[in-house]
């Protein structure tokens, strides 16, 4: 860099400024340095600017030649400045391009795909079997009234059968002191809700979540699903129940399945039964079979003919209408079907389990 001189400019001093300016410029590698360079030569107090200012002190003749040279010098410096800036920018671009280069041949990271929960899958599978037989699918509230969960199902207050369902009660104060709220212990409250809202013929299945105040173990969860079934109409008999559930058992567990009914008690059906299928693991042999525990049979659901008290409760003519109902635990169905040994796997959110379905 050349200090602005007080001496009148000469062709030599201008050439000198250009030479040193250009030499300096070539070595500059970043835009800040280039800008400093611009200020020191071409800025308001830059050395070339000083030369241009002092032209006025020259004789007319000299002013013309020296002036032309000085102006040419300014143009040269400005041009080279522009070149340098472009060079620096291109350089930076090249460097970053080679640093951040995208290797299109690298294998990509696979996108994580979600999937249906095994409970959702089995619930849909169960419902589809019944849909194919003409049933509709409805859902109901998980927070329920005592009225629907018990009363309408022929389980009045104080009835010992209430002990079959360990109930989680809601902290709810009824102004009238009558209504009690709970987490439904089964999907059966939907029986009365559906019958209240329409006339026979009725054919519905009701999938949904249920809750019980229970210690958990390999076969008990405090929350689980059920699929309820209800068919009401004229002339429905136990044979319809039997045929429908036989069809279901074979669709879920194989065409060769046999079924067995045994008496069971639920206050809202009469007669009440539980349904077993012959064991698909040992084909009903039983001996030494871990799945059916030597019995040859596996219990899969509870069922029965809708109790006349339940039909009366919703105002149906019991002389005209009969029906059957059933209820099953889809997790249990899935455990049997897929060989899952612990119901707690379903809701432990362990992807190693969930990914298998
Ligand atoms: N709701 C009964 C239970 O949870 C199952 C059931 C439904 C039995 C319908 C008979 C008829 O145990």
Per residue in 164-222, pLDDT (tens digit) is: 999 999 999 889 888 999 999 999 999 999 999 999 999 999 999 999 999 999 889 99
- For 83-100, the DSSP string reads HHHHHHHHHHHHHHHHHT
Could you give the C-alpha distances from 8 to 50, 54, 176, 232, 313, in angstroms and in order?
10, 6, 110, 117, 119
Ligand 1 centroid to Cα of residue 163, in Å, is 14
- 241 and 165 in a common domain: yes
pLDDT at 105 over 80: yes
- Could you tell me which residue, 121 or 54, shows the higher pLDDT? 121
CATH assignment at residue 256: 3.30.930.10
Segment 222-267, tens digit of pLDDT? 999 999 999 999 999 999 999 999 999 999 999 999 999 999 999 9
Q: What is the mean pLDDT of the chain?
A: 92
- 176 and 89 in a common domain: no
- Residues with C-beta less than 6 Å from any ligand 1 atom: 186, 188, 228, 266, 269, 302-304, 325-327
- 93 and 126 in a common domain: no
- CA atoms in the 13 A half-sphere facing the CB of 244: 28
Question: Which of 67, 99, 131 lies at the terminal end of a domain, its last residue?
Answer: 99
Ligand 1 centroid to Cα of residue 322, in Å, is 17
Q: How far is CA 286 from the centre of its chain?
A: 42
Which residue CA neighbors atom 9 of ligand 1 most closely? 326
Residues contacting residue 9 through CB under 8 Å, at least 6 positions apart: 51, 54, 55, 58, 66, 70
145, with CB counted inside 10 A (0-12, 13-18, 19+), is buried
- 41 and 125 in a common domain: no
Q: How many distinct structural domains can be found in the chain?
A: 2
- 335 and 305 in a common domain: yes
Assigned domain for 239 exists? yes
Query: What confidence score (pLDDT) does residue 190 get?
Result: 98
Domain that holds residue 317: 118-354
Angle at the Cα of 324 (from 318 to 330), degrees rounded to 5? 150
SS3 126: helix
């Amino acid at each position: 860099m050349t200090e602005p001189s007080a001496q009148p400019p000469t062709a030599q001093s201008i050439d000198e400024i250009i030479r040193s300016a250009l030499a300096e410029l070539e070595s500059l590698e970043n835009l800040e340095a280039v800008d400093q360079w611009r200020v020191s030569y071409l800025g308001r107090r830059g050395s070339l600017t000083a030369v241009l200012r002092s032209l006025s002190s020259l004789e007319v003749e000299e002013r013309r030649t020296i002036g032309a040279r000085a102006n040419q010098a300014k143009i040269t410096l400005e041009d080279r400045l522009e070149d340098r800036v472009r060079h620096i920018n291109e350089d930076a671009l090249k460097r970053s391009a080679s640093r951040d280069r995208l290797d299109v041949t690298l294998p990509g990271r696979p996108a994580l795909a979600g999937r249906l929960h095994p409970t959702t899958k089995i619930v849909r599978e169960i419902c589809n079997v019944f849909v194919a037989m003409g049933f509709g699918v409805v859902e109901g509230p998980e927070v329920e009234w005592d009225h629907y969960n018990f009363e309408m199902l022929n389980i009045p207050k104080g009835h010992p059968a209430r002990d079959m369902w360990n109930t989680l009660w809601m902290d709810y104060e009824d102004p009238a002191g009558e209504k009690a709220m709970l987490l439904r212990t089964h999907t059966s409250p939907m029986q009365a809700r559906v019958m209240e809202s329409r006339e026979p013929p009725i054919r519905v299945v009701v999938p949904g979540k249920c809750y019980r105040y229970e210690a958990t173990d390999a076969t008990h969860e405090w929350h689980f699903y059920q699929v309820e079934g209800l068919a009401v109409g004229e002339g429905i008999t136990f044979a319809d129940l039997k045929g429908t559930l036989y069809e279901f058992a074979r669709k879920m567990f194989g065409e060769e399945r046999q079924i067995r009914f045994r008496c069971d008690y639920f206050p809202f059906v009469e007669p009440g039964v539980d349904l077993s299928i012959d064991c698909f693991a040992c084909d009903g042999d039983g001996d030494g079979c871990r799945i059916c525990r030597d019995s040859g049979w596996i219990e899969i659901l509870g069922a029965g003919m809708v109790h006349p008290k339940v039909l009366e409760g919703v105002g149906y003519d019991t002389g005209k209408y009969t029906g059957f109902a059933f209820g099953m635990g889809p997790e249990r169905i899935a455990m049997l079907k897929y060989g899952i040994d612990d119901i707690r796997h379903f809701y432990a959110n362990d992807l190693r389990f969930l990914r298998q379905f």
